[in-house]
Amino acid sequence: MNIQKEKLELISWIAESKDKSLIQHLQKLRSMDAKSADWDAVLQADQLENIYQKLMLIEEDSKARKDIADKLYEGYL
């Protein structure tokens, strides 16, 4: 992951956004002390659920890919 590229893409996306609630949400995140922030308290329930679902899908995909790789290379291991 190229962090600089990711940051620039986010900046561009935010600059083009006309969504006031997005900007307000980002302002809340910025004002929080990242070290002591309780991110669950900032995010709405549906946002948290979406994040958890995406993380589960990523984990399931990783397991499936590992299983495929194991089957392909089982004779060599």
pLDDT in tens, 31-64: 775 545 566 666 777 887 888 888 888 888 888 8
Shared domain check, 58 and 26: no
- Summarize pLDDT for 64-77 with one digit per residue, the tens: 888 888 888 887 76
48 is in which domain, residue-wise? Answer: 43-77
**Are 2 and 28 part of one and the same domain?**
yes
Examine the domain organization and report whether 27 and 56 are in the same domain: no
Q: Do residue 48 and residue 64 come from a single domain? A: yes
* DSSP 3-state of 17: coil
Asked if 3 and 33 sit in the same domain, the reply is yes
Residue 65 sits in the same domain as residue 49? yes
pTM as predicted = 0.40
Burial letters 32-52, b for 16+ CB under 10 A, else e: eeeeeeeeeeebeeeeeeeee
